Structure formats: C-alpha cells, structure tokens
Structure 1
Amino acid sequence: MNYETGNLDGERLMLESPENGSRRRRWIIIGAVVAILVVAAIAWSMMSGSSAAPKAGTAPADQMPTVTVVVPGRKPVDRAISATGTLAARREMPVGVAGEGGMVTRVLVEPGQWVRKGQVLALVDRSVQTQTAASLGAQIGVARSDLVLAQAELDRAQQLVGRGFISQADVQRRIATRDAAAARVKVAQATASEQRARNDRLDIRAPEAGLILTRQVEPGQIIGAGSGILFRMAKGGEMEMRAQLAESDLVTLRPGARATVTPVGDVRKFSGQVWQVAPIIDPQTRQGIARVALSYDPALRPGGFASATIVGGTSTQPELPQSAIMSDDQGNFVYVVDAQNKVQRRGVRLGTVSDTTVAIADGLGGDERVVLSAGAFLNPGQKIAPVTKKG
C-alpha cells in the first residue's frame, strides 16, 4: 500500500513539474496560431475567388472604359511646303538722271506715294537751257525769213526769164538759194526740238505707274550722270516674297502653286501664287528661290521677313482630328487599338496641318482604329471598349 501511494505521488510530482507546464503552454500557443492561420486562409480564399471572377470573363464588359475610335482611311491631301524669305517689289524700278543733270529745285513725291507714268518726281534748274531754247527758236525765225526772201527772188526771176532780162542760169542759182534756205529752216527746227527734248529730260520722271519706295535726293543737290539712283519704285505696286526652299522641295514645285504668306509681326495671312521657280541652286546652301506674287498691302514692306506655306501638289495620306495627336519628349504619337482591343502607342510624322485636321505623313496606313480624344487618360496595353465613330 505504501508503495502504491508513493508511486502516485511521484507521478503527480512529475506532471506538475515546471518543465511539463512550459510544454503545455507552448502547445496551446501553437494551436491558437494554427487556428488563426486557418481562418485567414479561408478569408483570403473567399476574397481571391471573388476578384478572379472578372478574369474568368464573368464580369460585364461595361466595366472597361468606353473610348471613341476612328478609322481615318486615306484622302487626297495638299502637300504643304513651309518656307521663309524676304518681301520685295516684284518689279523694282530704279530711277536716276536721264539728261544732263543740274541742281534740283524741287522734289515732288515722298516714299509710299503712288505716281502715274511720266509724272514729274523732281524738278531740275533749267535757266541756262531755257535761254538756249529761246536762241534756237530765234534762229528758226531767221531761217524762215531767208526762205521767204529766196522764194520771192525766185518768183521774180521766173517772170523775167521769159522776157530775156535774165538767163536761165540765174534762175537755177535762185532755185538753189531757195532750197538751201528751206534746209536751214529744217536744221534750225531740228536743233530747237533737240534742245526741248533735252530740257524735258532734265526733270526726273516716273518711267511707269507704281509706288515710290525710296527717295535719295533733296532740293539743292547737284545731280548728273554719275549720281546713281534717286528713287526706287515698285511697278504697279506689285509685291512678292522670295522664299528660300530646299533643293528637294523645288523638284515638284511649279509656277501657279498656291501660297499663303504671313509677314513677321502680323497675324494676317496673304494669298498669293508662285510665279517663278529659280532655275539654279545655290551651291553653298543647296537652296533655291521661289518667287510668290502678292497684291499690294501696306503690311507687305519690301525688305521685311515673312513665312509662307506653299501647296506643292497633292498626295494620299491619312487625316486625323487634332484631338487624336499627342506628343511628348519622344515626339508625336497616337494610340491605335489592336485586335484584342488594347491600346498601343504608334509614333507618327505629321504632314499638312489645317485648322481642324492633321495629315499623317508617316506612321499610319489608314485602316487602323485610332483613339479619337481620350489618349491622355490611357496607358499602353490597357484594354478598352472601343466605339467607332461614323463618317
């Protein structure tokens, strides 16, 4: 009996020892952690199952963004050539001294003034030439008097020759005298006409109707054959832009091409057309000049700088609204929609730009579906619900 009681007491002491208590607490903690992990796994399983449902295709399509797309096709587009250049008179006319010259007494026009053909631009002193013209006029009178006298003597001699008072030889001499007097009259008249013409050339006159561009003469100035250009005129007031174009652009450009010119500092655009294409290329710059004819306008000042857009023919290209074009540090691009309705970035090179549309010179074939206006809110590879715009 005592042995049994002793054994029970010993087993109780072993179970209640500190080491066995520590083990029991450890197993309790492990069981609690396992229970927590099982509950978390069940919850995660339920959440992942609900989120995987759209991937399996059970979610409605309207959860994807609806985006308007357009198929641009290909259309005839004007091939625009951009150029810069200077404004000038289409036919500039330098006006200088045509006669003997002299001292300028009056200048009758100012730059910017319109003149007619033959209008006097400046008067030159002609006091000496006037006296010379008067002297020549007097010589005409003397010559005419000699002619009248010679004719009268001839008439009398012809009356007396029949009576035998004078010989036929005397009559012939009087005929010669009369003819010489008539010739002297013609010489005097020609000399006087020449002097009048010289006097008329003293004044500086407009060779054609047009616009005065510059004035380089003042009253009191002595002018002559070596005085150079006194006035510059634009014949008819016609202007032009001398556009500098690359050699490659001149190949297809022809006279008659339409152009739009914008002077520097002005927002207005002036219509014109190419009337001459340079037959040569500058070997240094590899450029040539296209001359664009323009009607007169005060904003078109010769010597000014301007830009131009020249229509150098047509080509077939895709054309998109400006809202479809985006740009960043890599250049211009659009978003196209592939067969899986995912948007993909496509780099493009722009052609002619109008007020509402942009021609695509390179990068599109025309049969792609292009995002119309929501590109800024999309990312490459994003799936969308495309809606094709008609027209």
Structure 2
Amino acid sequence: MKSHSRTISGATPSSLVLVLLAGVLAATAFSGCGKTATASAPGAPPTVEVAVGMEKPISEVQEFSGRLEAIERVEIRPRVSGFITTVNVKPGTEVKKGDVLFVIDQRPYQTEVNRAEAASKSARAKAELARLELSRAERLLGDKAIAQREYDERAAGQKELDANAHAAEALADAARLNLEYARVTAPISGRISKAEITLGNLVDSSAVLTSVVSIDRIYASFDGDESTYQRVAAHNQSGRPIEVRVGLLSEQGFPHEGKLEFVDNQLDTRTGSVRMRAVFANEDRSMAPGLFARVQIGGGNAKNALLISDNAIGTDQSHKFVFVVGAGNKAEYREVKLGPMVDGLRVVRTGLKSGEKVVINGLQRVQPGAPVTPQLVPMAAAAGGARDEGRLAKNDANGKD
C-alpha cells in the first residue's frame, strides 16, 4: 500500500502550520481595529450625556378629563290628565320655546271653561244688582225712610256678592289655565328627545312625555386637583376670568374656548379633587351633553420655570428623581416634583436648581455617588432618547471588550 503523507498541492505539514498561525494573527489584528476612538478604557466611569435645565417664563396649563353637560335640561310632563290627541315631536330636532309638542283632549277643559265663565257672569250680575240696591238704600237712609240696620244688611250683602263674583272669576281663570295646559309646549329652546308616550295614551302629571336640553351654550364639568384649586380659586372668587379650552375625542388639540364658571367650595377628601365647571358657546352644535371632553385650564400670568427632558426622569416607586452631576463628576440623586409638559419639556417645581447639569441619557448605568464621564449636550425634548441610550451603551460595551 502506498503512503499518502503529502498534503494537497504538495505542501508539507510544517508549512501548513505556519499558514494557520498567520491567519489567526491576521484575524486578531482585524478585530482590534473594530474599536472606536471614543471607547472608554476598561474600568473607566460610564459615559453619560448631561444638559443644563432650560429656564423660561411659561404660563402653566393643566389637562383633565371631563364630561359635557347641558346648561338646561327639562323633563316634559303634562299638567293636566287626559288622552293624547296630537304628537308633534320629531326626535333629535331643535325646538323653540313655546312650540306645541303634545295636545291632550281639550273638550272636557273647554266645557269647564264655558261653565266657569257662565257662573262668573252670573255672580257679577248679582254683585252689580247689590251695588244698585245699596245706592238706593243710602238715599233712603238719608231721608230717614229705612232703618240703619236694614242699610247695614244691604251693605254686607253687596260685599258678599262682590266676593262671590271674584271667586267665580278665579274659577274661570283656573279653567282657562287648564285648557291652556292641554297644549304641552316647550319650556326652553333646545334639542328634543324622542316621545316617550305616543298618540292615544291616557296621561297624568306623573308621566314623562319627552325631554329637552339647551344647546346654544354648554358646560364642561371636570375634577381638578388641589394645586389647580389653589391656583385658580383666588382668580375665580375675585371675578377675574380664567380661560379654559376643550377638545372632543375626535378633535386635535383644544379648539373650543370658554371661561371657568364654577369652582366648588370644598375638596373631596376621598379623592383629593374639587369639582369645577366651565361654560362654552356651542354655535356650531358640535358639542352635545354627555360627550367626553379633554379640558385644558390656563394658569394666568407667566412665571419663570425650570424645564428638563422626560428622558432625565426616573421613577422610584411613587417618587420621581433625576441624577445631577456634581463636584468631581459624581452623580447625585435628587427627588423632584414635576409639573406639566411645555413644548416637549417637563416643568420641575422642586428638587433642581438653575444651572445644574442633569443626566439625560445613560441613566440606567448611573449609581448615586459614583463618578461618570459627562458629555454636555443641549437640553431638548424627549425624542430619540432610546436611540441615544443604545448608542451610549454600545460605546461603554466597546470600552469593556
């Protein structure tokens, strides 16, 4: 059997080993060139981006969820009983004050009016005759033709008949009023609901025929928090107007402008909120009672505020915090109280001072009191934060290879 100790293409085993070693060295050199020039050295403090809080005057606004409510809402009930003979209700349409909505059988009430008017005329006639007789009695008493007692009786009789005439006229007025009530009219202008009781049914004062809600103006009711109450209560009590804006679920922003009309006199201790209400014009009829509303309430005069990116804010259970780079580039833990968003930045009410450098990217690699390598960047709105976090984490990872 022939020996096959020679390799392919005639290379010896020793030369093949040399080629493999050369390839390993070349691969090692190539991988070393992949590190960036900005990579941190092994054991160096993590690289983070920091920015100085932005100061500018702002007029704070706060947003709440609420519901639209009708300023006036009336349940239409009949004032007299009877059978419904006419229904003039078209559900969902607008009606004007005084429009006839239902008619109850008027014949019994017209008959009562006729009877009462006749009784009133009879009573007036008797009262007029008594006045004439009393006038004659005065002349006879002057001539000493009748006794004083007879004159007094005639005077008393005339007063009684006159009172009866007034009572009969009052009964006639009541009968005419009941006849008028047989025509059920709209007490306010607005949008009507459907007819709850239809033609031919017998109704009384306990029946609800339909309902009408006003639509020219509308309320937006919402629950404000304690800080909002403290901010707007003084303005409201002094009569100074507070602007409120509303946006519906299908709308962008807050296109409807109104005024804060009502702030309740106490806070709900269970929720820490206070009931508030604003009023809005509704000329285009786009707002209807019951709709969900996004409510934005203004804060009055502009005041200086410190703003930071939301990327800089961390959460520790129920507390919000930031890391500030202090002396020796060491991270300091600061608990902060926050306000609303303004132009993409978050208002910081307490916990941060003007001019301090806040970590805005690389937050997850920072430990309280530990040194960091800060890179100063402008304070910007929280956009692209996840991308920057990934870039910084990659740089730190490259530095630890």
Q: TM-score, length-normalised on structure 1? A: 0.60
Of the structure 1 ranges 143-152 and 82-91, higher mean CA displacement relative to structure 2 is found in: 143-152
Which residue of 58, 61, 67 corresponds with 1:77? 58
Distance 2:141 2:264 in 1: 80
Which residue of 281, 305, 310 corresponds with 1:295? 281
Larger Rg computed on CA atoms = 1
SS at match of 1:265: coil
Structure 1, unmatched stretches of 5+, are: 1-43, 45-51, 53-68, 340-346, 383-391
Which residue of 183, 193, 199 corresponds with 2:173? 193
Distance 2:85 2:312 in 1: 66
Contact 1:77-1:352 within 8 A present in 2 as well: no
Distance 2:223 2:138 in 1: 83
The one-character-per-residue Cα deviations of 1:327-378 (angstroms, maximum 9, x if unpaired) are 9999xxx9x9999xxxxxxx99985445x56354379755466437798689
Give 1:188's aligned amino acid.
Answer: A
Name 2:206's counterpart in structure 1.
Answer: 226
Name 1:128's counterpart in structure 2.
Answer: 108
Name 1:389's counterpart in structure 2.
Answer: none
1:146 aligns with 2:132: no
SS at match of 2:298: strand
Give 1:295's aligned amino acid.
Answer: A
Which residue of 254, 258, 268 corresponds with 1:272? 258
1:317 aligns with 2:305: yes
Which residue of 250, 254, 260 corresponds with 2:245? 260
Name 2:398's counterpart in structure 1.
Answer: none
How many angstroms does 1:137 deviate by? 0.7
How many angstroms does 1:308 deviate by? 1.9
How many angstroms does 1:173 deviate by? 4.5
The one-character-per-residue Cα deviations of 1:49-103 (angstroms, maximum 9, x if unpaired) are xxx9xxxxxxxxxxxxxxxx99775222222222112211134344434x23333
Distance 1:290 1:160 in 2: 77
Distance 2:220 2:123 in 1: 60
1:244 aligns with 2:230: no
Which residue of 304, 316, 340 corresponds with 2:291? 304
Aligned length: 310
Contact 1:94-1:231 within 8 A present in 2 as well: yes
1:88 aligns with 2:75: no
Name 1:183's counterpart in structure 2.
Answer: 163
1:211 aligns with 2:190: yes
Contact 2:73-2:211 within 8 A present in 1 as well: no
Give 2:106's aligned amino acid.
Answer: R
Cα gap change, 1:276 to 1:112, in 2 (>3 Å): farther
How many angstroms does 1:148 deviate by? 4.0
Name 1:3's counterpart in structure 2.
Answer: none
How many angstroms does 1:174 deviate by? 4.3
The one-character-per-residue Cα deviations of 1:120-142 (angstroms, maximum 9, x if unpaired) are 44332221111111011111222
Contact 1:317-1:366 within 8 A present in 2 as well: no
Cα gap change, 1:160 to 1:212, in 2 (>3 Å): same
How many angstroms does 1:252 deviate by? 3.4
Cα gap change, 1:293 to 1:161, in 2 (>3 Å): closer
Give 1:125's aligned amino acid.
Answer: D
Cα gap change, 1:134 to 1:301, in 2 (>3 Å): same
The one-character-per-residue Cα deviations of 1:201-243 (angstroms, maximum 9, x if unpaired) are 3443444x44235344433333323224732423x73212222
Distance 1:157 1:249 in 2: 81
Which residue of 70, 82, 94 corresponds with 1:102? 82
CA RMSD of aligned residues (A): 5.0
Cα gap change, 1:247 to 1:357, in 2 (>3 Å): closer
Name 1:55's counterpart in structure 2.
Answer: none
SS at match of 2:57: strand
Distance 2:96 2:176 in 1: 24
Contact 2:261-2:278 within 8 A present in 1 as well: yes
Give 2:218's aligned amino acid.
Answer: M
Give 2:279's aligned amino acid.
Answer: A
SS at match of 1:271: strand
Name 2:378's counterpart in structure 1.
Answer: 371
How many angstroms does 1:284 deviate by? 5.0
Give 1:308's aligned amino acid.
Answer: V
Give 2:246's aligned amino acid.
Answer: V
Contact 1:258-1:271 within 8 A present in 2 as well: yes
Give 2:216's aligned amino acid.
Answer: G
Cα gap change, 1:102 to 1:266, in 2 (>3 Å): farther
Distance 2:313 2:148 in 1: 114
Distance 1:233 1:267 in 2: 27
Cα gap change, 1:278 to 1:151, in 2 (>3 Å): closer
